[in-house]
């Protein structure tokens, strides 16, 4: 194939599709760019059909550090497992591409998006969907495209919508909406927002649908230039007698589904499926039609559930379409942890735990994104026991990363700023039991945990998952869907927000006839459900607790001059480490002179603060200190005034009377009360006088270097000025030997 290029401009930004030069052995390969950001998206379709009861699509998003001119961290110095952002991008490509393949297509499809160049201005994520669609179409795959994805931002000052905003434009946006689909339908929505209204969110989605159509038109022009040859393929068609033997069990399947208890219902359904398989199919048929029988039984279950909802308005657990499952809410569920909250809705239960730490405990990110890290972290765990299953525990899977990111996005707009609350915040949601909407239970439980920890969030957040059953023109929107309605329904639409507006959205759609009107109805019903849930939460915990737990660190922030940072840190960190070891406090020093001091015990924090302020404080004439003798010379003793400042107590001021040797009066480690006499403005050297001087030991003067003057004590008048030895000066000023 010769090289084919399509360049175009949309909504003020430059784009480009290219094929025919790179990765020519793939089924289809397209280079897609926005600005200088360049992604290679390849698609490979296997030639053999797989015996699966699902469509085997795999999507990988590969972040290459060379794309931003960086060498990967770690010992290996090569890219390893994907970052969380990379995993989320792979999920974002998968969700709008998967519905575009026909039912019954079981050839494996593998899509790989590789970042070749990231210019630091244009974001690399959403253009990958258009690249994946184009790569499939270039290869002639049986894909219902073109499909495209756009990101919609909104200028916080002007209210103007922005298509595929740059990083700079994104920073000034109160909306981050990612929406994907074709010219005819929306298949995926992902959004974060700063409490915007349902009406504004709907307007943004409508605008996004128009933008998708524009990008699909440009992609179609590119595909027309390529003029690919459609791939020959066949759809898997099960033997018709399978459905004929399964269909008579419809009424029994409907009866088995009517059970509010998840495990009981699943047990009845599985028993019925086993009975049908055993009674209706021979051993040879089961061996030959195994996946087809399983698919037919699943189809029977789906049909029974959907017909029940459409015809009677009753759900499997007996609820009305807009009814929320029973709630059980317990803030402060665990002792000692900094904050916790148990949130249960029906048979979905999430226990969220909040931990507060120093700002230097933030999460550092090694990705191609121009973001160094984050101080608010939300993590979600979905162990096998939460669904009563046996499984392998390991690193978080894509689903867990995605659900954690959704809850994090929902709560991020209400997290107080660093200046308001100088803590790193980590919330972990442990799913204890699951029957649908566990990510929304995680959001609600995490709100409780934050409030229980005393984090002054701007407003509490609740979340709800909405579902859809659509048969022809009959549409039923379901509130608070359970697992069965998610798996067998047409839509999973999660909405999070405060009483003021939406903070996060996520939608996956299987119904190609999903319209903006249906989304508007779903948003309205979700608003009512969110309000109901939030009211129940606030009955248990009306506002964030006024005080932190006794086990949580207290952080105090002080500011010092930038030129004093070196004094506080000390050589090789010796000074700051010494303060931490002595007081037990943790200290975080910023480049602008901001210092955060954290300690569980208030006394430890106060002691560390006093030591730091003592280091940076410049002693002034007349100030009094109690300091340790840290050095002794012939001419005097050095006294430690602060951790970083010493002053000289001259031998003539260590006692009343003549002293021959400093050691006759002072020893290393002695604590003496001194007053600042003089601070040299050029060198900063400090001269001290000892207060409450003792009398010089008898015979001390005879041991000194000034032996020849030992009989001068009674000559002339006594000098009664503070800081002078009470001895005769005979009209002359005593010689001062000040050699710091």
First to last CA, the chain: 83
- C-alpha torsion angle, residues 429, 435, 436, 442 (rounded to 10): -10
Say if residue 421 is exposed, middle or buried (CB neighbours under 10 Å; 0-12, 13-18, 19+).
middle
Higher pLDDT, 372 or 390: 390
Q: Is a pLDDT exceeding 50 seen at residue 130?
A: yes
Q: What is the pLDDT of residue 706?
A: 45
Please identify which residue in the block is written with the tokens 């002359």: 732
291-349 tens-digit pLDDT:
889 989 999 999 999 999 998 889 999 999 999 999 999 999 999 999 999 999 999 99
Q: What is the pLDDT of residue 571?
A: 87
260: tokens are 């509010």
627-660 tens-digit pLDDT:
999 999 999 999 998 766 889 999 999 999 888 8
Phi first, then psi: give them for residue 676, nearest 5 degrees.
-75, 120
When mean pLDDT is compared across 187-191, 374-378, 642-646, the lowest value belongs to: 642-646
Interval 222-248 mean pLDDT: 92
Q: What is the pLDDT of residue 341?
A: 98
Strand partners, 62: 114
Phi first, then psi: give them for residue 559, nearest 5 degrees.
-125, 135
| C-alpha dist (Å) from residue 704 to 117, 571, 586, 696 | 78, 37, 48, 12
Q: Is a pLDDT exceeding 90 seen at residue 394?
A: no
Cα 91–92–98 angle (5° rounding)?
A: 80
Cα 26–30–35 angle (5° rounding)?
A: 155
Radius of gyration from C-alpha coordinates of the chain? 37
Of 498, 462, 460, 491, nearest to 477 by C-alpha is: 491
167 in Cβ contact with 125 (< 8 Å): no
Higher pLDDT, 700 or 88: 88
Gap between the Cα atoms of 490 and 302, Å rounded? 11
Gap between the Cα atoms of 379 and 354, Å rounded? 10
Strands of the 586-589 sheet, one edge to the other: 554-559, 594-599, 586-589
Residues 6+ apart with CB under 8 A from 236: 49, 104, 105, 106
Q: What is the pLDDT of residue 54?
A: 83
- pLDDT > 70 fraction of the chain, expressed in percent and rounded: 94
27: tokens are 């089924």
Gap between the Cα atoms of 97 and 130, Å rounded? 10
Residues 6+ apart with CB under 8 A from 539: 329
Return the number of other C-beta atoms located less than 10 Å from residue 319's C-beta: 18
Gap between the Cα atoms of 701 and 395, Å rounded? 77
Report the phi/psi class of residue 23: left, alpha or beta, with left for phi > 0 and alpha for psi in -120 to 50: left
In which band, very low, low, confident or very high, does the pLDDT at 719 lie, cut at 50, 70 and 90?
Answer: very low
Gap between the Cα atoms of 511 and 472, Å rounded? 10
Q: What is the pLDDT of residue 513?
A: 64
Q: What is the pLDDT of residue 643?
A: 65
Interval 175-180 mean pLDDT: 96
Gap between the Cα atoms of 695 and 702, Å rounded? 15
Residues 6+ apart with CB under 8 A from 203: none
Please identify which residue in the block is written with the tokens 């509010």: 260
Say if residue 420 is exposed, middle or buried (CB neighbours under 10 Å; 0-12, 13-18, 19+).
exposed
When mean pLDDT is compared across 31-35, 284-288, 404-408, the lowest value belongs to: 284-288
Gap between the Cα atoms of 352 and 379, Å rounded? 9
Q: Is a pLDDT exceeding 70 seen at residue 168?
A: yes
Q: What is the pLDDT of residue 644?
A: 67
Gap between the Cα atoms of 29 and 18, Å rounded? 9
Interval 449-459 mean pLDDT: 97
106 in Cβ contact with 50 (< 8 Å): yes
Residue 605 parent element (H or E)? helix 602-616
517: tokens are 């009107």
124 in Cβ contact with 37 (< 8 Å): yes
Q: What is the pLDDT of residue 442?
A: 97
Q: What is the pLDDT of residue 309?
A: 93
Pairing label, strands 373-374, 376-381? unpaired
Q: Is a pLDDT exceeding 90 seen at residue 145?
A: no
Per DSSP, the residues of 383-400 read -GGGGT------SPPHHH
In which band, very low, low, confident or very high, does the pLDDT at 683 lie, cut at 50, 70 and 90?
Answer: confident
Higher pLDDT, 518 or 705: 518
- Binding residues for Mg(2+), as ranges, are 486, 492
Gap between the Cα atoms of 466 and 306, Å rounded? 15
Domains of the chain: 4-226 (3.30.230.70), 240-312 (1.10.10), 327-540 (3.30.230.70), 554-616 (3.30.1370.10), 624-709 (2.40.50.140)
Interval 500-524 mean pLDDT: 87
Tell me 417's DSSP state: P
Q: HSE-up of 297 (CA within 13 Å, CB side)? A: 20
Per DSSP, the residues of 652-696 read GGSSBS--S-GGGT--TT-EEEEEEEEE-TTT--EEEEESSPPBP
In which band, very low, low, confident or very high, does the pLDDT at 53 lie, cut at 50, 70 and 90?
Answer: confident
578-589 tens-digit pLDDT:
999 999 999 999
In which band, very low, low, confident or very high, does the pLDDT at 716 lie, cut at 50, 70 and 90?
Answer: very low
Q: Is a pLDDT exceeding 60 seen at residue 107?
A: yes
Q: Is a pLDDT exceeding 50 seen at residue 736?
A: no
Q: What is the pLDDT of residue 684?
A: 84
In which band, very low, low, confident or very high, does the pLDDT at 703 lie, cut at 50, 70 and 90?
Answer: low
Q: Is a pLDDT exceeding 90 seen at residue 273?
A: yes
Residues 6+ apart with CB under 8 A from 274: none
Q: What is the pLDDT of residue 692?
A: 87
Tell me 120's DSSP state: S
- Binding residues, as ranges, are 486, 492
Gap between the Cα atoms of 537 and 529, Å rounded? 13
Gap between the Cα atoms of 556 and 335, Å rounded? 24
Of 148, 203, 217, nearest to 179 by C-alpha is: 148
Q: Is a pLDDT exceeding 50 seen at residue 530?
A: yes
Gap between the Cα atoms of 143 and 99, Å rounded? 9
535 in Cβ contact with 527 (< 8 Å): no
Gap between the Cα atoms of 485 and 494, Å rounded? 13
Average pLDDT, the chain: 90
Gap between the Cα atoms of 500 and 681, Å rounded? 59
Q: Is a pLDDT exceeding 70 seen at residue 731?
A: no
- This prediction has a pTM of 0.82
Q: What is the pLDDT of residue 712?
A: 40
């Amino acid at each position: 194939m010769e090289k084919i290029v399509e360049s175009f401009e949309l909504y003020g930004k430059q784009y480009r599709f290219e094929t025919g030069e790179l990765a020519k052995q793939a089924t289809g390969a397209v280079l897609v760019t926005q600005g200088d950001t360049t992604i290679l998206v390849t698609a490979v379709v296997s030639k053999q059909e797989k015996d699966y009861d699902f469509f085997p699509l795999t999507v990988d998003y590969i972040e290459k550090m060379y794309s931003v001119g960086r060498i990967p961290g770690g010992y290996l110095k090569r890219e390893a497992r994907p970052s969380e952002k990379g995993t989320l991008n792979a999920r974002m490509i998968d969700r709008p591409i998967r519905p575009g393949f026909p039912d019954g297509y079981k050839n494996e499809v593998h899509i790989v998006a590789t970042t070749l160049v990231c210019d630091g201005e244009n974001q690399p994520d959403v253009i990958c969907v258009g690249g994946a669609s184009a790569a499939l179409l270039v290869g002639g795959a049986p894909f219902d495209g073109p499909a495209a994805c756009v990101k919609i931002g909104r200028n916080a000052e002007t209210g103007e919508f922005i298509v595929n905003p740059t990083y700079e434009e994104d920073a000034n946006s109160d909306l981050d909406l990612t929406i994907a689909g074709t010219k005819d339908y929306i298949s995926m929505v992902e959004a974060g927002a700063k409490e915007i209204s349902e009406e504004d969110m709907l307007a943004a989605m409508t605008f996004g649908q128009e933008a998708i159509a524009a990008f699909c038109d440009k992609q179609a022009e590119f595909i027309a230039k390529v003029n690919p040859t459609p791939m020959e393929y066949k759809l898997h068609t099960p033997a018709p007698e399978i459905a004929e033997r399964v269909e008579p069990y419809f009424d029994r399947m409907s009866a088995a589904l009517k059970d509010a208890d998840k495990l009981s219902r699943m047990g009845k359904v599985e028993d019925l499926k086993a009975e049908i398989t055993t009674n209706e199919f021979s051993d040879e048929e089961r061996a030959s039609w195994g996946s087809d029988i399983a698919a037919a039984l699943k189809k029977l279950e789906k049909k029974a559930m959907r017909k029940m909802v459409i015809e009677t308005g009753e759900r499997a657990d007996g609820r009305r379409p807009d009814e929320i499952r029973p709630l059980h809410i317990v803030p402060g569920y665990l002792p000692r942890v900094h904050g916790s909250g148990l949130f249960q809705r029906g048979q979905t239960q999430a226990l969220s735990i909040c931990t507060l730490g120093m700002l230097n405990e933030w999460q550092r990110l090694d990705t191609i994104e121009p973001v160094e890290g984050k101080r608010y972290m939300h993590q979600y765990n979905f162990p096998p026991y939460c669904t009563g299953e046996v499984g392998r525990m390991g690193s978080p899977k894509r689903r867990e990363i995605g659900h954690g990111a959704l809850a994090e996005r929902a709560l991020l707009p209400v997290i107080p700023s660093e200046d308001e609350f100088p803590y790193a915040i980590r919330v972990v949601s442990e799913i204890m039991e699951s029957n649908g909407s566990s990510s929304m239970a995680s959001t609600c439980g995490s709100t409780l945990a934050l409030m229980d920890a005393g984090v002054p969030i701007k407003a509490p957040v609740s979340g709800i998952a909405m579902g859809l059953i659509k048969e022809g023109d009959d549409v039923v929107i379901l509130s608070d869907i359970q697992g069965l309605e998610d798996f067998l329904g047409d839509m999973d639409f999660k909405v999070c927000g405060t009483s003021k507006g939406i903070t996060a959205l996520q939608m996956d759609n299987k119904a190609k006839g999903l319209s903006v009107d249906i989304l508007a109805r779903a948003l309205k019903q979700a608003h009512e459900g969110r309000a109901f849930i939030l009211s129940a939460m606030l009955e248990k915990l009306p506002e964030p607790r006024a005080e932190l737990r006794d086990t949580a660190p207290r952080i105090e922030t002080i500011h010092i001059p930038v030129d004093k940072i070196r004094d506080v840190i000390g050589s090789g960190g010796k000074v700051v480490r010494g303060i931490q070891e002595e007081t037990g406090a943790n200290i975080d020093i910023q480049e602008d002179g901001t210092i955060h001091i954290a300690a569980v015990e208030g006394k430890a924090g106060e002691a560390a603060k006093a030591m730091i302020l003592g280091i940076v404080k410049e002693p002034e004439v007349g100030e009094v200190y109690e300091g340790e003798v840290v050095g002794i010379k012939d001419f005097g003793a050095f006294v430690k005034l602060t951790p970083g400042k010493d002053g000289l107590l001259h031998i003539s001021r260590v006692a009343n009377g003549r002293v021959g040797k400093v050691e006759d009066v002072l020893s290393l480690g002695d604590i003496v009360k001194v007053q600042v006499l003089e601070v040299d403005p050029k060198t900063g050297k400090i001269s001290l006088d000892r207060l409450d001087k003792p009398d010089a030991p008898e015979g001390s003067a005879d041991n000194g270097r000034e032996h020849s003057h030992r009989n001068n004590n009674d000559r002339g008048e006594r000098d009664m000025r503070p800081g002078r030895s009470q001895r005769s000066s005979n009209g002359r000023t005593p010689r001062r030997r000040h050699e710091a």
